[in-house]
With several copies, the nearest count.
Chain A
């Protein structure tokens, strides 16, 4: 069927720019991830990839990465949704909260890591605080490689603190473009706040949610400064390994393999989301 009466014109117009863009975006990628399929001498081989797979840290890193993702994303979405709704409620001073919530956005990954390290470290604020309350008689070592629970906990907290705002402002934008009628209809027909969120807001927010999910997940795969700052060598993630191989071990090929893996996972996650939250034909009619 003809694209709404436009004939082929658009295609003709687009092709050149598309081709150009394809080159601009795809080419560097391909060339660089080619490295993953070369050994240190530059000959084609899967040596580097095998090296990655057999690396002592690999499985650990993969596991941690996934664990963190699975923990952080849902927490952040619940938080972000709450924040977005508060802001969207347009109650007095809700504008202010936008700033409060968004503040950590201005803090870089590493800085966030350092901040939270200084909170959780043995002589950190948390211990001082709990000590002050008399809850702990002597400081507790939270950041102990032997018990990853607290490490993970601290990292999840730090990440939630730092990056929830990214999701939040995307959702706020989404909420703003939901026509008011629908919310009013939901109100009139007796939807509780929770029902309203579940039955009306979330579905209508799908595009924004999808975007936020994809963006956040992709970025989460790249997080590592926070992890290193907080857990040191106690925990490692794929991104951190990529850097270790590039920086400390000076093996660009293995580093490329890691980078490639991260990219692959990101793409898979994206596809997963697009598949879980398909954009149906119905539009705001």
Chain B
């Protein structure tokens, strides 16, 4: 009985809970439907939607746009749902008769439109931008498994490790700080603990934390090479037992952490994993104090979850040319730099960042680039097509964690219990597997779930 307007609960915290801004950048800002001024380019974006980010987009990032960019033409969409609805409406308007000329959204959101064939081919533009050094893996994503370039990678964010200087001296000798393994992390935690500093590893396992992403994008793929299909496999069990072991050195208060920058700054945690946007304050406030590290690798590689925002032009675009112009501007090295500085999203390119960047940001971006460009890099995408089931999906992983690590129950049993729930998520949403799981026709099938 509660329609889109009841979003506060969906996207702001439930009344009275500390809400986090999920890095995907969803936050309550119901779109004030922008006026469609024919010739101009109207951009609808799920990204940079929160009030403050939107302001920065309008006043800083778009500032240098040749001929200026009318503020009201950048239309933030508060939620994926809102975005999809609007896009639907646009599509229904028909070829070239829509209002919006450019979509800015996450890869996952766009993939729905791509499947619906509502996006135009930008292969030429992709080639044209080739010398920018767009990250190949992302360009690949932009094709959505077709032979057309339906999306141009715009910017990215992801999750990395952050360590305070105190921690560095306890780094296992044999470990290379730019190519850590999860086993190293365990060692690291043990060293710190043995040195009498207590449990200094930390994870955002609180209600507002993005803890589920740790499993979906990092630990599971790193150990199994896959995510959902391998949910209930010996490798998965291995991962969970690793976590169990590691948890001895993890600050128990992790179950209250939302943004790891806080415990890092308070010193409760020395080594943390979290989304860059949620580590940023620590680095900007005290660049020397912290070291950014690429996510560690597991047996199956250096799995990480890229949060790729892309730009796409709908078939209904009234002004495709203007849109292409805007794309060129947004992905240009200069604009990317501004974007990074202002809102902390990293360029989707290998391009050198201009000097004079905030050292903290620099520090982080090095780690990001190091991770995304790593030889054993194993990108694991954000869930695609789960829709309303998103929460349920995340919950499965959190529940396993709470039962196994906090509750200390037998791993296999717990996995067996949860497998049906996970399967149910796919069955209800009808979502197909996404990379690194092998593509599936029809709902994704969890291994060992009938």
Contacts and interface: CB of A to CB of B under 8 A. Distances in A.
Q: Report if A and B touch in the complex (beta carbons < 8 A).
A: yes
Interface of A: 32, 35, 41, 56, 108-110, 113-114, 117-118, 121-124, 138-139, 141, 143-146, 224-225, 228-234, 243-244, 246-252
Given A247-B9, A247-B12, A248-B391, A231 B256 contact: yes
B38 interface: no
B360 to A, nearest CB: 14
B198 A138 contact: yes
B67 interface: no
A251 B257 CA distance: 16
A233 B253 contact: no
Interface string B1-21: 111011111101111111111
Nearest to A245: B391
Main secondary structure of the interface of A (DSSP, over half): helix
Interface of B: 1-3, 5-10, 12-21, 27-30, 32, 50-52, 196, 198-199, 205-207, 251-253, 255-257, 259, 266-268, 281, 285, 388, 390-392, 394-395, 398-399, 402-403, 406
Nearest first, the 5 closest Cβ-Cβ pairs linking A and B are: A225-B15, A232-B256, A225-B16, A247-B19, A243-B14
A26 to B, nearest CB: 17
Given A109-B15, A145-B406, A248 B395 contact: yes
Contact of A233 (B15, B18, B28): B28
23 contacts: A110-B16, A114-B2, A121-B3, A121-B266, A138-B196, A141-B199, A145-B30, A145-B255, A146-B406, A232-B256, A232-B257, A233-B206, A233-B207, A233-B402, A234-B406, A243-B12, A243-B14, A243-B19, A244-B14, A244-B207, A246-B18, A247-B10, A252-B2
B17 A243 contact: yes
A117 B251 contact: no
Contact of B268 (A35, A123, A247): A123
A121 B5 contact: yes
A178 to B, nearest CB: 37
Given A110-B14, A225-B17, A252-B2, A233 B255 contact: yes
Contacts of A110: 9, 14-18
Which of B15, B29, B255, B281 has the most CB atoms of chain A within a 10 A radius of its CB? B15
A144 B252 contact: yes
Given A114-B6, A143-B253, A145-B252, A248 B27 contact: yes
Given A56-B403, A225-B15, A249-B52, A233 B5 contact: no
Contacts of B207: 228, 232-233, 244
Given A143-B256, A233-B402, A248-B12, A123 B18 contact: no
Given A243-B15, A246-B18, A250-B281, A144 B253 contact: yes
A35 B6 CA distance: 16
